[in-house]
Amino acid sequence: SKSQLTYGARASTHPNPLARKLFQVAEAKKSNVTVSADVTSTKELLDLADQLGPYIAVIKTHIDILTDFGPQTIAGLQALAQKHNFLIFEDRKFIDIGNTVQKQYHGGTLRISEWAHIINCSILPGEGIVEALAQTAQAMDFPYGADRGLLILAEMTSKGSLATGPYTAASVDYARKYPSFVLGFVSTRSLGEVPATVAASADEDFVVFTTGVNLSSTGDKLGQQYQTPQSAVGRGADFIIAGRGIYAAPDPQEAARQYQQQGWEAYVARVGG
Ligand code: BMP
């Protein structure tokens, strides 16, 4: 699998422009950290993005938990993404019929397609959800169409998750059918070994984002289950996603630095550095 290759090598050969950009950012900043900035006001979100910006490759938002979302939220995030060279991932988890998700992705109150480089979806509705979101991205004016990508939520970290077995295998099938829009997966491990129906192409290189990463806890009271950066990267994570482990730490900047260092060391070990 391509996970033995360096980010730099994957950046130079990947067919998808946004995947190339992701790997370039990781390489340039020596960071595979995505911070899950699950705070509830624009000020907290922007302060966190500015403070942690130097140490992260991607910021993951739940934009609908903000109490004061507005144009200033987006303008602020975009300016900080430029300033610190990180990408924006809106964790909206689209899950509906094609006609509805197109309206949720493009326009509406949140205008997600205008600012989120990366989005994700559940495949419970079937293959049509991937096709619908891909259509919306492709219809956007240059340069946005080329700068948008989807992660399929192929597994979940919560206790008793039903996203397993044939569901996870179908996620791989859909990713293989829409390679120009699907960057890869949100999953707890690389999915190369999953018995999917659609065969892999020779240049297949899915990007794996792994949530549920925490250095000091094994879970929460609501069923969250954690693994460490070492474990996640060892199992195939290209980008490790940490929320409370970073933003709820006594010193979030110091925590981000620590996750960056550990995530990077695990990556270097994986590629044989
Ligand atoms: P924390 O590290 O604080 O547990 O946050 C995890 C983040 O990742 C949350 O934003 C959650 O919505 C998201 N997430 C997850 O925890 N497990 C999944 O399977 C998928 C997710 O998107």
Q: Give me the residues paired with residue 87 across strands.
A: 58
Please state the atom number of ligand 1 nearest to the C-alpha of residue 247.
3
Model confidence at 236: pLDDT above 90:
yes
The DSSP letter of residue 7 is H
Active site residue 91: yes
Q: Is the pTM of this model over 0.90?
A: yes
Cβ pair 153, 186 in contact under 8 A:
yes
DSSP 161: -
Distance 13 CA to ligand 1 centre (A): 30
Q: What's residue 144's pLDDT? A: 75
pLDDT in tens, 162-191: 999 999 999 999 999 999 999 999 999 999
For ligand 1, atom 17, which residue shows the shortest CA distance? 157
Q: Report yes or no for ipTM above 0.85.
A: yes
Digit-coded pLDDT (tens) for 53-110: 999 999 999 999 999 999 999 999 999 999 999 999 999 999 999 999 999 999 999 9
Is residue 96 among the annotated active site residues? yes
Q: What is the pLDDT of residues 113-162, one digit of tens each?
A: 999 999 999 999 999 999 999 999 999 977 777 799 999 999 999 999 99
> pLDDT at residue 196 above 90?
yes
Q: Are 175 and 152 in contact (CB under 8 A)?
A: yes
30 is in an annotated binding site: no
Shortest-distance Cα residue to atom 21 of ligand 1:
211
Measuring from atom 19 of ligand 1, which residue has the nearest CA?
Answer: 156
How far, in Å, from the CA of 211 to the mean position of ligand 1? 5
Q: Is the dihedral of CA 263, 2, 119, 129 positive or negative?
A: negative
Q: What is the C-alpha separation between 271 and 5, in angstroms, rounded? A: 6
Judged against a pLDDT cut of 80, whether residue 111 lies above it is answered with: yes
Q: What local confidence, expressed as pLDDT, does residue 273 receive?
A: 76
What is the average pLDDT across 201-217? 96
pLDDT at 235: 97
Integer Cα distance of 10 and 14 in angstroms: 6
Contact between 40 and 66 under an 8 Å Cβ cutoff? The reply is yes
